Structure 1
Amino acid sequence: MANAKFVIVLAIVALVAAAVPMTEALTCGQIQGSLAPCLTYLKSGGAPATGCCKGIKDLVAMAKTTADRKNACNCLKNAASKVPGINPTFASALPSKCGANIPYKISTSTNCNSVR
């Protein structure tokens, strides 16, 4: 009888654990993937492509925690300094061009530790 109760409790715990989604930290790969359609705009300016704006809005939606936002900031900062031909003015204007609210400037000079 005690074993049956234990099995039932264990089954309930397993069901509850399966119902709670596991959250993973936002990875640099996800961030770069979201913004890959923005490369043409970041180098040449003009109007960002629809896929670019969707990517930046998706990134804002995915970065729910302070840790995610700091990680996104660091990843964007790194990418901005390593990808040749990115225009810093275009990069910092990207969120507003897409109607996205990012709480920091996309720039190699951004202090990502101050992102909340």
Structure 2
Amino acid sequence: MAATKLQVFVALMVVMVASRQPAANGAVTCGLVASSVAPCLNYITRKGPLVASCCGGVRSLNGAASSTPARREACHCLKTIAGSVPGINYSIAGGIPGRCNVRLPFPM
């Protein structure tokens, strides 16, 4: 049942990404955030290991969120996504940047 909910969530995020209007150059959208962190969902819900695609998504998102407004938007989107995924271990999630050797310009 939990795996089905996770699959539905990821499918909804993919639809959201596909249906969004193109963002302004350099803008961070919730679709971009969702697709970037989707590979991390099994890890942060203790259903799987940390995978390379999760680290790649975190690196990509960190690069895209290079301005203060973009970081705020990414943070807002992450909070929204986290609120819709049951069973997130926030300690594990907060440790992903360090495990992926990504330096964030702000604390998690």
TM-score, normalised to structure 2, is: 0.70
Alpha-carbon distance in structure 2 between the residues aligned to 1:94 and 1:45 = 15
Fraction of identical pairs, as percent: 38
For the aligned residues, what is the CA RMSD?
1.7
TM-score, normalised to structure 1, is: 0.66
Alpha-carbon distance in structure 2 between the residues aligned to 1:75 and 1:44 = 21
The residue type equivalent to 1:50 in the other structure is A
**1:104 aligns with one of 69, 84, 107:** 107
**2:50 aligns with one of 48, 56, 67:** 48
Alpha-carbon distance in structure 2 between the residues aligned to 1:100 and 1:60 = 8
Summarize deviations over 1:62-88 as a string: whole Å, max 9, x none.
111111001111111221222111111
Gaps in structure 1 of 5+ consecutive residues: 1-21, 106-116
* 1:44 Cα offset (Å): 0.7
Larger Rg: 1
Structure 1 runs (4+) deviating above 4 angstroms are: none
**1:72 aligns with one of 71, 74, 78:** 74
* 1:104 Cα offset (Å): 3.1
**2:87 aligns with one of 82, 85, 88:** 85
